[in-house]
Amino acid sequence: MVSFNKQAKGGKRNWIKFFIWTPWIISIIMIFISSNKTKAINIFYATNHGISVAQPIAYSIYYIVVGLVVIMSFVGGKRAFCHYVCWMAPFMVIGTKLGALLRFPSLKLLADKDKCTNCGLCNKNCVMSLNVNKMVQKSSMENSECILCGGCIDNCPKGVIKYCFCSNITAKLHSRKIDSNHIKKYLN
Ligand code: SF4
Ligand code: SF4
């Protein structure tokens, strides 16, 4: 049955967006390099007073993209377009990985797995169809497909998940602290 609430399967399909993004970004770079007469970049090019969706041709492109988002949600599940096709998503995925590599503090999810009752509400309410319950149990909340919408935070009845603006090291220390508390509980 076709439904907006269907979970997107993810997995290897998530790589499709990189096969779209790579030739797209390479062609932009190649055009830029080959046009050695480029003297300036006009970020308002082809806009009407700075508004990009102001001409009939721009409307049609806009509606094609919106139509694709809607159709893919019906066919592939919640946010299938974001998972499989979105050519902007790789920028976010690469940015997240690079930030982690350079140890920059950023917005993250932290979880206290000892409080979790495995009710599964976080999985049900995750707009990106992620297995949040499993991430909590593994004390590893990093997932490049997570858009940090906070849906799992709002819908967890036990307050297991929270936001943190911190580095990866702080996040890891947080999960270790919880694990050591867990061990202490059994030793006492
Ligand atoms: S909603 Fe909260 S308590 Fe329920 S499984 Fe998810 S993290 Fe655990
Ligand atoms: S923050 Fe949003 S996308 Fe990320 S795991 Fe929670 S519900 Fe899913």
Would you say residue 51 has pLDDT above 70?
yes
Q: Which atom of ligand 2 lies at the shortest distance from residue 151's CA?
A: 7
Residue 3, token pair as written in the block: 């439904």
Q: What are phi and psi of 158, to 5 degrees?
A: -105, 5
The percent of residues in the chain predicted with pLDDT above 90, rounded, is 51
- 89: tokens are 């998503």
Portion of the chain with pLDDT greater than 70, in percent:
90
Identify which of 92, 78, 65 has the alpha carbon closest to the alpha carbon of residue 146.
92
Instruction: Decide if pLDDT at 116 tops 50.
Output: yes
Structure tokens given for 100: 């982690």
User: Of all protein residues, whose CA lies closest to atom 3 belonging to ligand 1?
Assistant: 116
pLDDT per residue as tens digits for the range 80-103: 999 999 999 999 989 888 888 888
Q: Please tell me the distance between residue 127's alpha carbon and the centre of ligand 1 in angstroms.
A: 15
Its pTM surpasses 0.85: no
d(CA 8, CA 24): 25
Cα distance between residue 127 and residue 87, in whole Å: 19
What 3-state class would DSSP assign to 54? coil
